[in-house]
Amino acid sequence: MTIQSATIIARLSAVDLGANDFGGPVFAPTMEAVISLTAGTAAGEANLVWFDERAITTGASLDLDLSGVLTDAFGATITAVELVALFVINGPRSGTANTTNLTIGAGTNPIVGYLGGTTPTIGPIRPGSFVLLGSSDAAGFGAITAATGDILRITNSAGATNNCQIAFIARSA
């Protein structure tokens, strides 16, 4: 199956009280970025989507192969070549909150385009925290190369099993 559309929204807003350069006494800024995607494989488009909740045992790593191993919600094999969005939440959809940290990256044959270098990581991602990356650029934010750069590794620190939510949007060409 092919996604028809997708929207990625990141928003940070706050309300602060006190005198400020914009007047006062209330300062209520909002910063927002929205990426709207349509079906396809070019800039501003995507055609693959994957959502899941996974358990990672204490001190272990989860390696997600984004090129030819995972299946989507309809059972079709995902063979991605560009990563457009990645969303990882250190917490389950419901149930007991996690107590351990996560780290994204490194491992064997990792996707590195979004971080640079050869074995970079993002973390620690503390319980209840999340990471959201997105790019509608023609190259996305990470190239996926079968067998040499196609693994998304998520590592759980020691202490307890971690139930995390993972989603990505990608392109097949």
* Domain assignments of the chain as residue spans, ordered by start: 41-171
Residue 23, pLDDT above cutoff 90: no
Residue 118, pLDDT above cutoff 80: no
pLDDT of residue 26: 82
Q: Please give the share of the chain, as a percent, with pLDDT higher than 70.
A: 95
- 5, 33, 102, 150 from 158: Cα distances, Å: 38, 35, 10, 25
Write the single-letter amino acid at 114.
Answer: Y
CATH label, 41-171, candidates 3.40.720, 3.30.70, 2.60.120, 1.20.1440: 2.60.120
Instruction: Report the predicted TM-score, pTM, of the whole model to 2 decimal places.
Output: 0.91
